[in-house]
Amino acid sequence: MPYTLRDGPGFQLLRTAALFKHAFAKALRPYDITPVQFALLGLLWERDGLNQHEIATLLGKDRPNITRILEKLELKGMVVRERDPEDRRSTRVFLSPLALQQRRELESVALDFRAHALEGLAESERTILQQLLLRLMENLR
């Protein structure tokens, strides 16, 4: 069987991720938040006070990229960076009152978007999709 780009899982995942990101960006546009900014806020909603290295690792981004994202979120009044009192070389990131106030609304947008993206898939298919994606990620580590 000859190699066909469009039949490969890499191509299909790349296209799906691009479509997902574009559509999610459109849903978040009224809030002036990008998908990666939302992901960073989501991490902090789960564990406020992460350091920049932890955020970079969890999001799979390099530290300079995380620094730029944090600068933008700081300008929007969504996060505050503070020196770690235990390690002065490290910076911890905390949610601002504005980010805490907007959490429910932004999470609602994300949940509605997720429901739309998974529309037409049975619960069992959603579970299988999640398991398969996790297995692919594990294989590639």
Q: What is the CATH number for 34? A: 1.10.10.10
State the residue range of the domain holding 42: 30-117
- Calculate mean pLDDT across residues 2-18: 89
Surface-to-core class of residue 70, CB atoms within 10 Å of its CB (0-12 exposed, 13-18 middle, 19+ buried): buried
Does a structural domain hold residue 2? no
How many domains in the chain?
Answer: 1
Within its chain, how far is the Cα of 8 from the centroid? 25
Does a structural domain hold residue 93? yes
Percent of the chain scored above 90 by pLDDT? Answer: 87
Does a structural domain hold residue 129? no
Instruction: For helices 52-59 and 35-46, give the axis angle rounded to 10 degrees.
Output: 120
pTM above 0.75, yes or no: yes
Does a structural domain hold residue 44? yes
Does a structural domain hold residue 112? yes
Does a structural domain hold residue 82? yes
pLDDT in tens, 79-129: 999 998 888 888 999 999 999 999 999 999 999 999 999 999 999 999 999
Does a structural domain hold residue 23? no
Structure confidence at residue 88 (pLDDT): 81
Does a structural domain hold residue 39? yes
